[in-house]
Amino acid sequence: MKPIATKSRNDEGNSKSHCFCLHSFVRSWPHFGFVALLILAGATTGCQQDAATAARKVTVPDDAKVIAEGTGTLKYRALQDGRIFVFDVEDQLVDTARHVRAGQDVVVDPASNTATLDGRKIVEQLKVGHTHRLYFLPE
C-alpha cells in the first residue's frame, strides 16, 4: 500500500513532512467500530421495552366477537379458521393475537401466567386478578 505524503507547518513555521498511511488508519478502524457498536447498543437498550409495549398495542378489530371473558381460566375451541385475540381488560392491551385453525384449543390461565394454543405457550405474562377477554375474528 502506498503512503500518502502530506506537508504541514509546525508551530515554529518549519515545513514538516507527514506520512499518512491508509493501512494504519484501517488497522485502527476496528476500535472506532467497537466504540460505535457500544454507543449504538446503549442507545437501543431502551427500545426493547418500547418494542414490547408497542407489540401489545395491537387493536382488536371492530367485527371480532367476544367468545369468553373472566378472571380465571378461559377455554375456547375454534370452530373455524380465524384470529384469536387475548385482551387484558384492565390494561386495555392485547396480550397476543394469533392465527388459529378449526379444532385448535386456546387456554388462557392467569394462575399459571400463560396462554396456550394446542398446548404451546403463546403468552407468558398474564396478570393474575385481571379480567381477560377472548375475541375471535373468522377468516
Across the range 78-87, mean pLDDT stands at 97
* Rg from Cα positions in the chain: 29
Q: What is the pLDDT of residue 11?
A: 52
Between 17 and 104, the more confident residue is 104
Q: Which residue has the cell 369468553?
A: 68
- Burial class (CB within 10 angstroms; exposed 0-12, middle 13-18, buried 19+) of 67: middle
The pLDDT value recorded for residue 118 is: 96
pLDDT at 48: 47
Above 60 in pLDDT, residue 124?
A: yes
Q: 69: which strand partners?
A: 133
Q: Looking at the whole model, is its pTM more than 0.85?
A: no
Residue 38 confidence (pLDDT) above 50: no
Cβ proximity of 122 and 116 under 8 Å:
yes
Q: Per-residue confidence at 58, pLDDT binned at 50, 70, 90?
A: confident
